[in-house]
Copies of this chain bind each other. A is one copy, B any other.
Amino acid sequence: MEGEAVSGAQLIAQALKAQNIEYMFGIVGIPVTEIAIAAQAVGIKYVGMRNEQAACYAASAVGYLTGRPGVCLVVSGPGFLHTLGGMANATINCWPLIVIGGSSDRNQETMGAFQEFPQVEAGRLYSKLSVRPSSLEVIPAVIEKAVRTSMYGRPGSCYIDIPGDFVNLQVNKSSVKYMECCLPPPISMAEHSAVSKAASVIVLSKQPLLIIGKGAAYSHAENNIRKLVDLCGLPFLPTPMAKGVVPDNHPNCVAAARSTALQHADVIILLGARLNWILHFGLPPRYQQDVKVIHIDICAEELGNNVRPAATLLGDINAVTEQLLEEFKKRSWKYPSNSEWWRKLRGKIKNNEERSKA
């Protein structure tokens, strides 16, 4: 081969590195061993696991914690199939994740190759993107697209299928379409009228409640949310995955009066949380029949699920929180701390804490 050659394994490793991927979890074997070696060679931290199932859950946790996907590297057939639980979990939980699966050599397809399986197709139901590069030349482009897709919009998992014969195949570097690191995820905000509408509903509320969801944690909205809580004096409740966005020991946290808070709120500001089973679908008897929901989410299709909102704010949780913060600064509104609602919530908190101690 004329010019400098590069192997499939090296292209994969370099492309992941170019996309700032730091961690790879996996189990090596035919045909992916060389990929793990190449990944280590370019400085990716490779963690060998004992079952692909655990490897995939570990990689997805990296994605949630860092906002950049971890990679799970697995062999063909059962190795790949063991990641489907983790892929589904990442996509449903909205965590970025990349799974790279080795598959059969292309020239043995349809003949009964070792662990032959339609892996791209199998990954479809569990991922945002399931794809096989059509040649070595496009590996960097496909990896860029997968990493980008896993992080942009509502995050989730992407599957990249690598035919076994790609791993050691070589290609001239000059023919490869190399890609720079994708840009950080684009941020969007709610339109002004929606922000204004939301604020108008909130200032008229008698028993408001701010629910902080996982999306708030993922978008690193902690500073703005705390400012909003402090500025407006709102009672708040974290969902299980949003624990710590504002600490539970903040005086406005009503986690210890969760049922009461949900059941009697007249206005709920839903910040990056879904009205699913965790929040009892937003429906009576766990909520007021006519509760007004201010629904804030990064995913348009989530808005209005189960309950018709009083206002819908589509955008990045942190960006929209900042919009609300600006709006309330202008309005200089604060929910009174001596309200009947706060008395009720504080009473319930005290009761529950005493009951806990006893």
Residues of A within 8 A of B (CB): 51, 53, 77-78, 81-82, 84-85, 88-89, 92, 106-114, 117-118, 120-122, 124-126, 128, 131, 133-135, 138, 141-142, 145, 148-149, 152-153, 179-180, 182-183, 185-191, 194, 274-277, 281, 299-301, 303-306, 308-309, 312-316, 319
In the complex, which residues of chain B have a beta carbon less than 8 angstroms from the beta carbon of A81? 84-85, 88, 126
Q: Determine which of B120, B131, B186 lies in contact with A314 in the assembled complex, contact meaning CB atoms within 8 Å.
A: B186
Say yes or no: B186 contacts A300, CB within 8 Å: yes
> What are 13 A-to-B residue pairs whose CB atoms are below 8 Å?
A110-B142, A112-B276, A113-B277, A145-B305, A153-B299, A182-B304, A186-B194, A186-B314, A188-B189, A188-B191, A188-B314, A189-B191, A191-B316
A162 to B272, CA, bound (A): 32
In the complex, which residues of chain B have a beta carbon less than 8 angstroms from the beta carbon of A145? 110, 305
CB distance from A321 to the nearest CB of B (A): 13
Chain copies in complex: 4
Q: Closest B-chain residue to A124, C-beta based? A: B121
Say yes or no: B111 contacts A152, CB within 8 Å: no
Say yes or no: B187 contacts A314, CB within 8 Å: yes
In the complex, which residues of chain B have a beta carbon less than 8 angstroms from the beta carbon of A180? 308
Say yes or no: B78 contacts A277, CB within 8 Å: no
Q: Determine which of B113, B277, B301, B313 lies in contact with A108 in the assembled complex, contact meaning CB atoms within 8 Å.
A: B277
In the complex, which residues of chain B have a beta carbon less than 8 angstroms from the beta carbon of A194? 186-187
Say yes or no: A85 contacts B82, CB within 8 Å: yes
A189 to B188, CA, bound (A): 5
4 A-B pairs closest in CB distance: A112-B276, A153-B300, A186-B314, A81-B85
CB distance from A324 to the nearest CB of B (A): 14
